[in-house]
Amino acid sequence: MTSTLSIKDLRVSVEGQLILKGLDLEVKQGEVHALMGPNGSGKSTLAYSLMGHPKYEVEGGEVWLKGQNILELTPDERARLGLFLAFQYPTVIPGVSLANFLRAAVNAIRGGEVNGNGKAQVGVPIAEFRKMLTEKMELLQMDKSFARRYLNDGFSGGEKKRAEILQMAMLEPEIAILDETDSGLDIDALRIVSEGVNALSGPHMGILVITHYQRILNYIQPDFVHVMINGRIVASGGAELAHELEAQGYDRYLKQVSEVSR
């Protein structure tokens, strides 16, 4: 059965100010969606709200995944249900290697699985984890030494984003949200990160790419593009919509929203 992230009339405030004002969106496994909009439109608010960041206060609406309203779940429960967020600004954690961080993350998501003997696993066996890590790093064309480095400590912008994509590869979510993954990347880093996303995309993963610009969509081909203005999705279409935005900007949609608000 295909999983669907279904967002219905979502309203979210930050420090008393309403940011999301009745947002509706559906992302299914196997689909790639791009969410585009100018600064301040609420794109990152949507990402953090979906993962349960305490700063973001849900005022109304529902978000359904696999028969559960995830707004009633804790962030770790949402992750175990199959939701993943790649951060725009990944956290630096000196003293913790990327490999150890990934093993902790995998154990947190999969540690409660039942093994072949019918018993719950405390964690993923180390040999299985190492095999999985090696396979995913080869898939993403990453040097094995990368896993021994401290998490994001001294990483370039591109390396931080590649570490996020490796985490996504290891956790194998059903729905992945990429919050401005292209932010701060040069052309070469953008291409490498995008190739990693493309290597992981497929029928078992739905992807929501949040971005300001069309350039990442030159590498990651979206099935659907949505325009977000002032806390709502105001237009949807195919990949051609991203090219229209690149050529014409958001002025047309900003004007429409301004006229409706009068």
Tell me what pLDDT residue 213 has: 83
* Alpha helices (H) in the chain, listed in sequence order: 43-51, 75-81, 98-110, 126-139, 157-171, 187-200, 239-248, 251-261
Domain tally, the chain: 1
In the structure, what pLDDT confidence band is assigned to residue 261 with cuts at 50, 70 and 90? low
Model confidence pLDDT, tens digit, residues 20-75: 999 999 999 999 999 999 989 999 999 999 999 999 999 999 999 999 999 999 99
DSSP states of 149-189 as a string? SEETTT--HHHHHHHHHHHHHHH--SEEEEESTTTT--HHH
Tell me what pLDDT residue 54 has: 93
Work out the number of other CB atoms within 10 angstroms of the CB of residue 21: 15
Give the angle 123-126-129 at the CA atoms, nearest 5°: 85
Q: Which comes out higher in pLDDT, residue 181 or 238? A: 238
Q: Is the pTM of this model over 0.85?
A: yes
Model confidence pLDDT, tens digit, residues 102-133: 999 999 987 655 455 555 556 789 999 999 99
Which whole-number Å values give the CA distances from 217 to 69, 182, 223, in the listed order? Answer: 30, 10, 10
Q: Parallel, antiparallel, or unpaired for β 175-179 and 83-86?
A: parallel
Q: Which comes out higher in pLDDT, residue 182 or 131? A: 131
Beta strands across the sheet bearing 83-86: 83-86, 175-179, 206-211, 32-36, 224-229, 232-237
Distance in angstroms (rounded) separating the CA atoms of residues 169 and 149: 18
**Sequence-distant (≥ 6) Cβ neighbours of residue 3 within 8 angstroms:** 28, 29, 65, 66, 82, 174, 175, 206
CATH of the domain at 30: 3.40.50.300
Cβ–Cβ < 8 Å for 29, 203 = yes
Distance in angstroms (rounded) separating the CA atoms of residues 231 and 46: 9
Residues of the domain holding 158:
4-261
